[in-house]
């Protein structure tokens, strides 16, 4: 069974964030992990592209049908649950990396914490630490640090 | 069809928060709305008790089976989805009132905003306003104000 | 907590089937049970109308939004899961009555059996009995018999 | 994006059925498709083993956690939805092959038909043809015929 690292973030992103997402995807693939995302644009697309360019395998847990998937998704799961697919993405991943993002990303971060998972955050939401009574929310400052921590979580 | 107000918050709460939840439930019932919650303890229980004492009707969208429901739930929906039931509770409600709460509550707040809904917050999470690009997050300071705003949202 | 009887069947139905559905709904309400259905037309509508005319309470677990609900639904749960809402309807009900119906109804019957529930069938699918290793599938010939058996299951 | 063929069937099966499932899995892999199943024993295990022995890739959409997966699952999706994961498996697959099976399998067959999909049946449920108003239910008598038809459906 392959370890799965979930990458969550906005469906649109600025250039700098796109590069960070790409590098995260690249490192996930180079470390022989599968990258799971929501399968759409922005952070999801650039992370998936990074993984594909490095020879990795990508999963997209989609809100609706397969036609939505970005071009770098190998395995498309068309849930037709709308944004409730966020829950499923979280459950699919052994650990998550949050990059930037808006309320959709926050719903994934918080659901992951509530399920007791570790979320590694890069330029993402600031949360009131004392209210996080389940899971781990770790803020890092580089893609390399994020993936290194994610790998440590899996092994 | 009856309007449904969702009440979200922690499954345990301090006495002051219990009172706030009770008052919110009471006002929901007095205004002829149905109260939907996650059906468990803490904020969910006290809000449901408030609604029942005022002659209202309560729904509990439960993580697992009916035996989990607090004693003030009239209609129990046993989802067996675990915490993924949070999504369903959010979708069931026309508007939501968040009281206190931890990461589970945050997952409901953020999922509701992501679905474009209004969440009225009482002693709950502080969020980075500029990142809320969908839905409405309104902080208020009393149960009466919370329910009044919720009613305005429905009508 | 109120007992909930699920009524499943096609979203269109012939006049005789409509009458059967109406009578089933009427009897559910007269016996102080809540009627849950998929909230749309056909069997779902006529059963809900029967329940409302007898002073009962009705729940509609909808595929998409509240605007889909037939006019006899008191509590609308807009799941936005599409036909995957069938699972949730099954889980909401303590016992189910299947009336007529096509493959959607069969998905509800079989999922209910798989969850160990009792399904009482009126003019519905013929199933290979020896393959039903979980749940109970009981064929009856009148609405009165169906509701009587359903009530026995609850009590 | 890789085409995905879903294989559904009982979690226990007799030796002859195990061989049929193994052959179906082998042919799916040899034809460069991904095999998706419920990830447990019986038909799911033997089909996945067949696919792995032929160098293919397998997905298991699990009722609960990763520890449930049979040893031939590459990508485990732990849904924690219980048997409601059946819906997700159906949606993940471009076409389904049903082998033998009980009420759980029937819930997958009927849900797939209701979503308009093609289900190819090998020694599985007999259904009343005139009630199948959506999807395609095609009964075949050999694994080779089943996979050939499934491939035709995809291309």
Question: Residue A26 sits in which domain range?
Answer: 4-154
Q: How far apart are the first and last CA of chain A?
A: 13
Question: Sheet holding B58-62: strands in order across?
Answer: B75-78, B58-62, B34-37, B4-9, B95-99, B118-122, B136-140
Interchain pair A104, B126: CB under 8 A: no
Interface confidence (ipTM) of the complex: 0.95
The pLDDT value recorded for residue C56 is 98
Q: What is the chain B residue with the closest CA to D64?
A: B81
> Over chain C (155 residues), what is each successive 10-residue block's mean pLDDT?
97 96 98 98 98 98 97 97 96 98 98 98 97 97 98 93
CA distance D48 to C80: 32
**Neighbors of chain D with 3 or more C-beta pairs under 8 Å:** A, B, C
The pLDDT value recorded for residue D75 is 98
Cβ contacts of C59 on chain B, cutoff 8 Å: 75
Task: Give the confidence band of D61 by pLDDT, cuts at 50, 70, 90.
Answer: very high
- What residues of chain B have any CB closer than 8 angstroms to a CB in chain D? 80-82, 84
For range B66-70, the mean pLDDT: 97
Task: Say whether A113 sits in a helix, a strand or coil.
Answer: helix
Q: Residue D92: which of A1, A2, A77 has the nearest Cβ?
A: A77
Work out the minimum CA distance from B85 to partner chain A, whole angstroms: 10
Task: Give the confidence band of A116 by pLDDT, cuts at 50, 70, 90.
Answer: very high
Cβ contacts of B133 on chain A, cutoff 8 Å: 102-103
For range D121-147, the mean pLDDT: 97
Sign, CA dihedral B90-B92-B96-B102, equals negative
CA distance A55 to A53: 5
Q: Residue C111: which of D102, D107, D135 has the nearest Cβ?
A: D107
User: Which residues does A8 contact at the CB level (< 8 Å), separation at least 6?
Assistant: A37, A38, A43, A89, A96, A97, A98, A99, A101, A105, A108, A109
pLDDT digits (tens, 9 = 90+) for D84-112: 999 999 999 999 999 999 999 999 999 99
The pLDDT value recorded for residue B24 is 98
Phi (first) and psi of residue A105, to 5 degrees: -65, -40
Q: Give the rounded percent of residues in chain D with a pLDDT score beyond 90.
A: 99
> B84 vs B80, B81, C107, CA distance in Å?
9, 5, 22
CATH number, domain at B82? Answer: 3.40.50.450
Nearest to A6 by CA among A150, A139, A123: A150
For range D39-51, the mean pLDDT: 98
Q: How many separate domains does chain C show?
A: 1
Cβ contacts of A92 on chain D, cutoff 8 Å: 77-78
The pLDDT value recorded for residue A121 is 98
């Amino acid at each position: 069974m392959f370890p799965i690292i979930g990458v969550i973030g906005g469906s649109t992103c600025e250039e700098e964030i796109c590069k960070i997402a790409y590098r995260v995807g690249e490192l996930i693939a180079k470390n022989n992990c599968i990258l799971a995302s929501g399968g759409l644009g922005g952070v999801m697309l650039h992370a998936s592209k990074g993984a594909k360019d490095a020879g990795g395998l990508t999963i997209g847990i989609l809100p609706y049908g397969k036609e939505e998937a970005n071009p770098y998704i190998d395995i498309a799961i068309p849930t037709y649950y709308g944004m409730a697919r966020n829950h499923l993405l979280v459950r699919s991943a052994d650990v998550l990396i949050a990059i930037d993002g808006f309320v959709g990303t926050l719903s994934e971060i918080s659901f992951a914490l509530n399920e007791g998972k570790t979320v590694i955050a890069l330029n993402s939401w600031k949360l009131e630490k004392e209210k996080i009574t389940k899971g781990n929310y770790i803020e890092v400052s580089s893609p390399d640090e994020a993936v290194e921590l994610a790998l440590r979580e899996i092994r």
